[in-house]
């Protein structure tokens, strides 16, 4: 009896040890799917109604100069679509490890609306952007977004093309 119990325990242990990387890979793939949906659907297509299903109630965006909570971030998403109604997101690279997903993507659109403190300029922009997302239980809990804000303002014609 003890011998059978030990064999069964050894078999279960082997399965858990061998399957661990498979399960970890599954979690990372699910996290990548959440990141893709957030970028392509919510940000890229303006489907704000999907926001609550993707973001945790305690979500924090760690922006350049300060942090923003979920409600402020949701309003910023709406603002991007008022400013750039034709915004398109193209994912270039995506890497996942554990609960983190890093994404490099291209944002393109025409600034035909006034929002986010910016006037409508009618200019087309194309920006390379990056973000790191922390995703737990299928929800985005933290984000570290980054894009070249000076290039952004230059493309909009709100900053000189060169500094003197």
Report pLDDT for 50: 96
Report pLDDT for 45: 95
Report pLDDT for 21: 47
DSSP per position, the chain: -HHHHHHHHHHHHHHHHHHHHHHHHHHHHHHHHHHHHIIIIIIHH--GGGHHHHEEEEEEEE-SSSEEEHHHHHHHHHHHHHH-TT-EEEEEEEEEETTEEEEEEEEEEE--S-BTTB-----EEEEEEEEEEEEETTEEEEEEEEE-HHHHHHHTTSS-SS--
Inter-residue contact 121 to 115 (CB < 8 Å): no
Report pLDDT for 161: 79
> Is this structure's pTM higher than 0.75?
yes
Joined together, the tokens standing for residue 153 give 């303002």
Per-residue pLDDT of the chain (164 residues; tens, 9 = 90+): 676 565 655 555 555 555 454 455 899 999 999 999 999 999 999 999 999 999 999 999 998 789 999 999 999 999 999 999 999 999 999 999 999 999 999 999 999 999 988 899 999 999 999 999 999 999 999 999 999 999 999 999 999 877 66
For the chain, domain boundaries: 2-155
For domain 2-155, give its CATH number from 3.10.450.50, 3.30.70.890, 3.30.70.920, 3.40.1550.10.
Answer: 3.10.450.50
Closest CA to 126 of 100, 150, 101, 108: 108
């Amino acid at each position: 009896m003890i011998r059978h119990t030990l064999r069964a325990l050894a078999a279960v242990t082997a399965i858990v040890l061998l399957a661990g990387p498979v399960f970890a890979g599954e979690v990372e793939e699910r996290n990548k799917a959440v990141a893709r949906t957030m970028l392509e659907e919510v940000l890229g297509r303006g489907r704000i109604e999907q926001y609550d299903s993707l973001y945790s109630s305690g979500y924090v965006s760690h922006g350049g100069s300060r942090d923003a909570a979920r409600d402020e971030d949701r309003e910023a998403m709406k603002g991007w679509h008022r400013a750039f109604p034709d915004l398109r997101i193209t994912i270039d690279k995506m890497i996942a490890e554990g609960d983190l997903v890093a994404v490099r993507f291209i944002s393109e659109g025409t600034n035909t609306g006034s929002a986010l403190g910016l006037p409508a300029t009618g200019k087309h922009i194309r920006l390379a952007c990056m973000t790191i997302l922390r995703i737990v239980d299928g929800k985005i809990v933290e984000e570290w977004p980054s894009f070249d804000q000076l290039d952004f303002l230059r493309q909009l014609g709100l900053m000189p093309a060169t500094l003197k």
